[in-house]
Amino acid sequence: MKGPDLLHSLFGVLLRFREREVALLGDISKMYHRIMIPLQDQHVNRFLWRNLETHREPDVYIKTVLTFGDKPAPAMAQTALKKTAEENRSVYPEAAEVLHKNTYMDDICNSVNTVTEAKQMAENLDIYLKTGCFKVKRWISNKSLEDHAQVEKRSEMAVFRGNVAEKVLGMAWNNQEDTLTFSVTSNAVYHVIGSGQPLSEGKLTKRVLLTQVAQVYDPLGLAAAFLIRAKIGLQELWQVGVDWDEEPPLAARVKGIPVHDLSGRWSHGPEFLQKPEELWPQEADKPVGEEDLERRQVKIVCEVKNIDEAINPKTFSSWRNLVRVTARIQRLANKIRARGQNQEGREGPLSPEESQGAEIFWIKKSQKSLHSRVKKGEFRALSPFVDGHRVIRVGGRLDKAVVFYETRHPALLPSDHWISVLTTRHAHQHGHSGVAATTANIRVKYWILKAMELSKSVKFKYGFCKEMAHKTETQLMADLPALRLAPYTPPFYHTACDDFGPYSVKIGRNKTTKHYGAIFTCLNTRAVHLEMAVDCSTMEFLQVLSRFLAIRGQPAVLISDNGAQFVGAERELSEMVRGFSREEIQEFCAEKSVHWKFTTPAAPHENGCAESLVKTCKNALKRAIGSQVLAPFELYTVFLEVANLVNQRPIGRIRNATDVS
């Protein structure tokens, strides 16, 4: 980073340099190289060097002092100089004031009333700067400073080098005559501003004229009355339409002062200023009309403004992002309070307590409009109450249910607040499920008024959900079979199965293979169990079936289509028990009998329970992994998570009074 601009005003420093009789000019020697870089920052300034010895590896060096070209170097140098001035201000207050006001980068420009003061100031500044490891290369004055004076062969020296980007010398100071001078190397300017003499350096063009005028650096405006002639001439050339390299007219009649008149009234001012103030000419008072009277301005004592919230929730599109940002800001506020008590605040990742505190903060914000409605009894059917955190929650008769407190008593939220929209989006993004499933996921923690309408609005605004939605054909459905309507039976007592896939999995660094999925669904509860098969062989399906039986138990009926692996499984199961004795077969059938039924060939609709849930699971898998290629166990983990997600879907839709309130 570049750092702040700590340089003083060039105009102000020059004025104070010419303010008093004795001028004092000093140059700090090797200013950058006298400032050390902090040890922890030195390794940022590494560089390689091998002295053109290309046959060997370069050596690694670090810069320990400030160097030219480093962006923060000017700011760091000025900071070090100001730090030196502040540390010894009580010992040398006048020298500290000079360093604080009359320096420009490494130049010290000051003026005092007498030579004695100049000597003392030079000595004090030498001692003062030595405490900060600075050293003045030489002191130059328009008066003789004896031991501090140095004989200069050149009568002129640059006071400033001007702006670093411009790289021009600027003003030249003749310390013997104590005058500021300007150097002009061409007579191009004089050709236009009055002399009319022919040029000796080629033809006069607008480009040449602008170059000569721009070379004169005059921050104090001492030659402004003279340079204005050339500048007005340039304006006239633009108005006439002269091109850059076209020779302009000989002369321009413009206002201004010739150079030999600059030492008169322009430099010293009018003569009456040298006289006492009572002898100055008096201007007669003129009657002032009412329209010319200055109107008194009304000062604004105070102003009432609506202060926006520190965090505007409408600028967030994600509930988790809003909670994280709020938790971070609350942590910062707590750290600031802790510093007042000499304590350290919390560091590191956000804790669950901090995230929960941020959630409660926004829930209470969104519930401000509900307090008056609760007092009026509008939500009497929900038995609302206020908990210890001042959060309005839904009551009910589920206090003894073995679920989380937030599930027994969800927070009541209005439907028209942005927090409700964000929480609905958050619930819908986990699986992009339907309206009823989204509403059910919301009510695990929040009870949003008109939640169905809000879920529907959020779902149909998602482009991803629109792309995944498919229009179904309208057809007359047949009656449900008896197996689908068997009450008082445990889950998976009547089961349908099917396989789907394949899915590519990686089994090596650059090798992939195909794995398949097997679905088991209960015909009564429509619960889902997913397993993974490495191929479509009968033996592999027997392994899948064994895992299913070990977890879910023995079904009474197992329905499948006429896949070769299913038919083979039934045949091999028959061969497995063919060698049993009659008593053993009866015992096996009594304990683990499974009646396997196959659907009609080329009629997959007869196994529609499994086929419809295959579509649901494949859509969920597509949303979860997309085009990724997972490892086998990663894919199996996703299978289990998708099965759990599908099993959380509501069986039907039950509307309640709050959906329309």
Looking at the 3D structure of the chain, how many domains does it have?
4
Burial class (CB in 10 A: 0-12, 13-18, 19+), 55: exposed
Number of Cβ within a 10 Å radius of residue 376: 9
Q: Structure tokens of 6?
A: 């700590």
**Structural domain boundaries enclosing 14:** 10-145
528 φ/ψ angles, rounded to the nearest 5 degrees: -125, 140
Whether 658 is in a domain gets the answer no
| Same domain, residue pair 495 and 463 | no
Q: Taking Cα atoms as reference points, which of 134, 183, 137 lies closest to residue 158? A: 183
Quote the CA–CA distance of 371 and 20 in Å, as a whole number: 74
CATH number at residue 603: 3.30.420.10
| Same domain, residue pair 537 and 465 | no
| Same domain, residue pair 621 and 562 | yes
Q: Structure tokens of 578?
A: 């063919």
| Same domain, residue pair 63 and 94 | yes
Residue type, 543: Q
DSSP 254-322: -----GGGTTTHHHH--GGGGS-GGGSPPPPP----GGGSPPPPPP-------PPPSS-GGG-S-HHHH
| Same domain, residue pair 14 and 137 | yes
Quote the CA–CA distance of 204 and 156 in Å, as a whole number: 30
Angle between helix 10-17 and helix 93-101 axes, rounded to 10 deg? 130
Q: Which residue has tokens 């008066």? A: 143
Residues of the chain with pLDDT under 50: 148-169, 189, 192-198, 200, 251-254, 573-590, 660
| Same domain, residue pair 488 and 601 | yes
456 φ/ψ angles, rounded to the nearest 5 degrees: -65, -40
DSSP 107-135: EEEEEESSHHHHHHHHHHHHHHHHTTT--
User: Which pLDDT value is given to residue 346?
Assistant: 79
Q: What is the pLDDT of residues 533-542, one digit of tens each?
A: 998 787 788 8
| Same domain, residue pair 560 and 634 | yes
| Same domain, residue pair 486 and 458 | no
Q: Choose one of 469, 490, 519: the last residue of a domain.
A: 469
Q: Choose one of 130, 145, 160: the last residue of a domain.
A: 145
CATH number at residue 60: 3.30.70
How far, in Å, are 21, 151, 571 from residue 120 at the CA level? 15, 20, 114
Whether 330 is in a domain gets the answer yes
Whether 533 is in a domain gets the answer yes
273 φ/ψ angles, rounded to the nearest 5 degrees: -70, -20
| Same domain, residue pair 129 and 102 | yes
Whether 300 is in a domain gets the answer no
331 Ramachandran zone, left/alpha/beta (phi>0; psi -120 to 50):
alpha
Whether 197 is in a domain gets the answer no
Q: Choose one of 95, 121, 145: the last residue of a domain.
A: 145
Whether 515 is in a domain gets the answer yes
| Same domain, residue pair 505 and 373 | no
| Same domain, residue pair 501 and 593 | yes
| Same domain, residue pair 575 and 625 | yes
For residue 257, what are the contacts with CB-CB under 8 A and spacing of at least 6? 225, 226, 266
Q: Is residue 65 within 8 Å of residue 178, measured between CB atoms? A: no
User: Which pLDDT value is given to residue 94?
Assistant: 86
Whether 178 is in a domain gets the answer no
Whether 174 is in a domain gets the answer no
Cis peptide leading into 555, omega within 30 of 0?
no
